[in-house]
Structure 1
């Protein structure tokens, strides 16, 4: 049978197997599994499917190894519905699945883009107390929970991993830091990073940038600068590293350090990025340093760069100043040359109209949003209610508040 398979004579192999009367079902299953695996290794995926479909029907429980291999094969072929069907058969059979089977099922659903289904597989696995994930499955689990923004799951898995006795390698440290950055306290994340360095492992660029972001948002600037210089020393600092540090200094109103980092960015051969310009615009604008704000805006216009965030920053800053004509100009440009207003743009616009005392315009924004297929969220209604209250339209504010409550957004 193996010789037939190797020479692509699958039909003959199947006939040979069907003509044989097997007394040992376990041996028969192992032989079929061996043939299917051989087809997979040789790249004869259709042949593997053919062998699987011609396997004798049995009242016995499905073979976990055969079914797992077929899930993997269908996944490679992009036949995700077939892979899902086999997994559901295996799951409903009540047969105890092993770690490999769960790993294959998780990867199949992730590859198919069905992340919630992949999480359900992990939930099923979690009920099996005897299954201990290996380091490869642990990394898959961390990445999956991060993609699904399941922070509680990430934190729980992290602490379980610490107790599991699994030996961490460089990739595991990078994976944990990258995935758990927003799920763990900054002190714990810092401890993991320091331990990684102490053990002689090298963080990758993403890890450095994650730590920069975490330290920056926590205002731990001494640690942030240390991480930045480590990344630079190893040649791993990229444009995102500079953007992250610039944004952190901007949020903290450390304008001198923000400017110095921009200059360092240019000195080291990086062009000032749109993200860096946006951070400077936002920082200067919020502190009403309008001369610096205009200077950055002029440089940004000369570079011919802008994005949705740029327009939203401008609407917000001009709105806070009560410069409604400038807001109108930005809106016109956004509609004619930009991507068009998004939810954030509209929410900011309502706020701007409220500051300018243009209540009717603020209310009309809701109508425009609906016409453009953008659904108001909680922030939209809160901004509108605030705008109405600011302009002594208390009865109208109450009406919108009741409407908001009726929508379940209160």
Structure 2
């Protein structure tokens, strides 16, 4: 492992906050005037009474004036709020009307508000709704105020790359050139990323060579880092080495992002030697310091492989080097301890997070719910699930899978029914993985009627069974020596691979 300074403590130090300043104010004593002499007492009595009356009158006048000023100010504020409210409502209505036109895609709508159209486009790009985003972009181009903008094109190309639509991305790239937009390294890199994400490396590398000969479009470290990440995702390590060698020839030095990408990929594929050598190389660079992402990648690699002691040593070394943990770090520690069955250490991390006010995320809750579920501590698992909902953190499919798996291991079919009731009353998007967990849980408990019923639920939810679904059912029937059902399911799985028919359209075997 890379040589880092030795640690001083296993967890980050608490934030030392100075005590708040004292709010006790010193008491002040007003020295009264000397008392009048007895000879002048009667003479000054009338003057004192008159002065008191005058002061009281002035005080009442001032208070009355202040009250009138306050009322006038409140009336003015109320009037201004009503005017602002009417303006806000008007703006909202105009924007909603414009959005309605955008959804209907009316031809000839050339006078839409620029801000609203751009907001609608941004929303769709962020949500990766590429088809809708392209329709809004077409509407944008029809507007009288439209001017070609390279930045908008780049955002769309990046979105299409994430959605595995490289051909559409190429069409937009060509359209950007036709509209006269300046093409630079950023726009080329966006298209390179689109090809790389879809595994079209021959096109990505060809475009990389084209960049080298195009003025003002030379590839930079960002271009190479994106292409390296795409190659690592499909384990094309030979292409990664070729890219690193090419960077050296071009005089481009890897940065922290490049090294973090390599360390994370090597760690996930359990190539620990390459991961450690990459970290050593990173530490030898003067302008390339490890950061919290470096630390998290290393901790995740050793934690997921069950090397808890190595993970802890690395954590201590990174800390002593001045790298502070974040919420992701603690999630990794919790997950690693939970999977290794080290619940005392997991509880210690939870207490530390609570003590120093680290807000839990959905990932934190999913990790601890799954850990307690696997440990059979249903009471603590259910408490955390209730706490999660009370903090308005929406459960995900991962959360529900953990609950179903735990109830299946504990033999609690009635609890699984409770999860299904929760699903019916929520808007959680279910996937095949959740239904496969459901099939496995019912199969473990020998609830074959309920297991078969999961297929019906899947069809209702528009979710198709996959090979894992059928294999899980076959495993359950085989364990109970239900050979006839196993044979029928295998035939069904074979027919499903070559047919797009729904479950209801096929001849259903009798699993009762």
Task: Name the TM-score, length of structure 1 as normaliser.
Answer: 0.66
Between Structure 1 and Structure 2, whose CA radius of gyration is higher?
Answer: 2
Deviations 1:157-210 (A, max 9, x none): 333355554644444323433455435612211221233234453223322222
What are the within-5 Å matches in structure 2 for residues 11-410 of structure 1?
75=153, 81=171, 83-84=173-174, 106-109=188-191, 115-116=197-198, 119-124=201-206, 135-145=221-231, 149-152=233-236, 155-161=237-243, 163-164=245-246, 165=248, 167-178=253-264, 180-183=266-269, 185-200=271-286, 201-229=288-316, 232=319, 234=322, 236-297=324-385, 299-300=387-388, 302-305=390-393, 306-339=395-428, 341-408=430-497
State the SS of the aligned residue for 2:198: helix
User: Which structure: greater helix fraction?
Assistant: 1
Residues 112, 272 of structure 1: alpha-carbon distance in 2 compared, 3 angstrom cutoff: closer
Deviations 1:208-241 (A, max 9, x none): 2222211211223233224434555535421111
Residues 398, 339 of structure 1: alpha-carbon distance in 2 compared, 3 angstrom cutoff: same
State how far apart, in whole Å, the 2-side matches of 1:73 and 1:372 are. Answer: 39
Q: CA deviation at 1:106?
A: 4.7
Given that residues 292 and 323 in structure 2 are in contact (C-alpha distance below 8 angstroms), is that contact kept between their aligned partners in structure 1? no
State how far apart, in whole Å, the 1-side matches of 2:257 and 2:388 are. Answer: 39
Residues 182, 126 of structure 1: alpha-carbon distance in 2 compared, 3 angstrom cutoff: farther
Residues 303, 169 of structure 1: alpha-carbon distance in 2 compared, 3 angstrom cutoff: closer
**Which residue pairs with 2:93 in the alignment?**
none
Gaps of 5+ in 1: 1-69, 88-100
Q: CA deviation at 1:74?
A: 9.4
Residues 199, 111 of structure 1: alpha-carbon distance in 2 compared, 3 angstrom cutoff: closer
How many pairs does the alignment contain? 323
State how far apart, in whole Å, the 1-side matches of 2:190 and 2:360 are. Answer: 41
Q: CA deviation at 1:398?
A: 1.1
Residues 169, 333 of structure 1: alpha-carbon distance in 2 compared, 3 angstrom cutoff: closer
State how far apart, in whole Å, the 1-side matches of 2:423 and 2:155 are. Answer: 44
**Which residue pairs with 1:17 in the alignment?**
none
Q: CA deviation at 1:271?
A: 2.4
State the SS of the aligned residue for 1:339: coil
Relative contact order higher in (CA < 8 Å, ≥ 6 apart):
2
Given that residues 212 and 228 in structure 1 are in contact (C-alpha distance below 8 angstroms), is that contact kept between their aligned partners in structure 2? yes
Given that residues 109 and 115 in structure 1 are in contact (C-alpha distance below 8 angstroms), is that contact kept between their aligned partners in structure 2? no
Deviations 1:83-107 (A, max 9, x none): 33799xxxxxxxxxxxxx9967752
Residues 262, 232 of structure 1: alpha-carbon distance in 2 compared, 3 angstrom cutoff: farther
Q: CA deviation at 1:269?
A: 2.4
State the SS of the aligned residue for 1:151: coil
State how far apart, in whole Å, the 1-side matches of 2:428 and 2:235 are. Answer: 32
Task: Name the TM-score, length of structure 2 as normaliser.
Answer: 0.54
